[in-house]
Amino acid sequence: MLNLNKQNILNYLFISLGFFASISIFISDILIFGIIIIWIIDRGWKRKWKLIKSCHFSIAIIMFLVFYVLGLIWGDLNIYSLKWIREQSLLIIIPIMISMSIPKKIIQKVLIAFLAGMCINAIMSIGSYLDFWTVRYHHYPNENVAVGFLDHFDHSVFLAFSTMILIAKFFESNNNKFRGGIAIFILLFIVSLFISHGRAGQYVFLMILGLFLLIRFINKPKYLILNISLMICFLTIMSSFSSTFNTRLIQGVQESINFFNLLKYSSVNTQDITVTDTPIGDRLTYLINYSKIVEDNLWLGCGTGNSMNYYQLLENKVFPNLPARPPHNNYLFILCEIGIIGLLLWLNIFIQLLWKIYKNINSVQLDFIKFILPIIFLFICLTDEYLVRHNSTLLFCLFTSLFCVRPDISTTDLKI
């Protein structure tokens, strides 16, 4: 067991990690390194392995990571494989955190620190959107992009999760003053979310919010109808006031229509229509082309680090002008790299996590918030490789290990 000084240092590292998870990759990595160092110094390997082994969620992560590294046998040790192994190896901190003794009061402070970091991100993004200050951003250089310290992919996802935490606490409390204070932060986060360019976070937020209201008020149809109506009214207002949300929604639909219309008679861009170099057009192009690679390498994939090599060599590609990049789809990425076996091992992480949550809670209605994070990732991973990205993977690791799988912590235990 850790002595008092080491435990205090560990507590401060976790609280700091909660804050800097959305602020700085560099500082987050230093904090993670410090946590791992203390974990190693603490020893107690038998006790730790017993805790890790008793959690099937942890074992599922280890099995997937081992298989992905073994994929180098039929894959290729190159710059891509090293990068993707490095990014996904962050998942190993989940078994490490699960085998550590983190007090409830510290987890509560981690959550508060995380929400404080997101509050800074939200204020920065709104300020940049209103031209109060300038945030240099490489995506969409000719547009006014509402971002803080996170890029637009992660910004919307972090806000979706943060806002749902606050909404859950809002409905849980009977204190009107507390509700009023929480409502201000909910409004701040929602405005920041819907002026952002991150469609994945926006759409998953609306889906999760609808599901949350349905489960919470399933036995109170009047309250359910009232809250769903308020949600629809608010969405209509945001759609009217947020040109970014409205424009991106229309663009997405139009890009999809253009893609399939052009694909009917041409597999290349024409003088009149260009469907690549658009978010939806690129994703659909990669979906079709990478699926051809999967067909020929179904069970074991083409090997770790080999997917982009295979893409470059693929014949009869649709829209071949599009350069080789990951497919913007975590499922397809894993399937192409290490096949159906690898994808099943990856999906098993979520199966074990959801089952662990279900076994540990007393009421789905009261503790549905614990299911939110895995559901969010199951959805957003259809739109990009969110578990091959540092910030989003860290979000997944931090709150699945400290909150979702902890049987001694419920939503009511977390005081904000």
Question: Could you read off the pLDDT of 258-311 as tens digits, one per residue?
Answer: 888 888 887 777 666 677 788 899 999 999 999 999 999 999 999 999 999 999
Determine the angle formed by the axes of helices 176-194 and 199-216, rounding to 10 degrees.
150
Q: Over the chain (416 residues), what is each successive 10-residue block's mean pLDDT?
A: 79 97 97 96 92 96 98 95 96 96 92 97 93 75 81 94 94 90 95 91 94 89 86 78 80 90 79 78 94 95 95 91 93 97 98 95 83 96 96 97 88 70
On whether residue 276 sits in a domain, the answer given is: no
Task: Provide the domain limits for residue 109.
Answer: 4-248+329-413
On whether residue 287 sits in a domain, the answer given is: no
On whether residue 259 sits in a domain, the answer given is: no
Global confidence as pTM? 0.94
On whether residue 233 sits in a domain, the answer given is: yes
Q: List, as own/partner pairs, every contact residues 14-17 make where C-beta atoms lie below 8 angstroms and the sequence separation is at least 24, other chains included.
A: 14/102, 14/106, 14/107, 14/110, 14/402, 15/106, 15/109, 15/110, 15/113, 16/113, 17/110, 17/398
Round to whole Å and give the CA distance between 389 and 88: 8
On whether residue 286 sits in a domain, the answer given is: no
Cα dist. 347→259, 332, 342 in Å? 30, 12, 9
State residue 52's pLDDT score.
95
Round to whole Å and give the CA distance between 254 and 193: 22
* Gyration radius from the chain CA atoms: 22
On whether residue 405 sits in a domain, the answer given is: yes
On whether residue 343 sits in a domain, the answer given is: yes
State residue 1's pLDDT score.
53
Round to whole Å and give the CA distance between 304 and 337: 5
State residue 87's pLDDT score.
95
On whether residue 275 sits in a domain, the answer given is: no
State residue 262's pLDDT score.
85
What's the domain count of the chain?
1
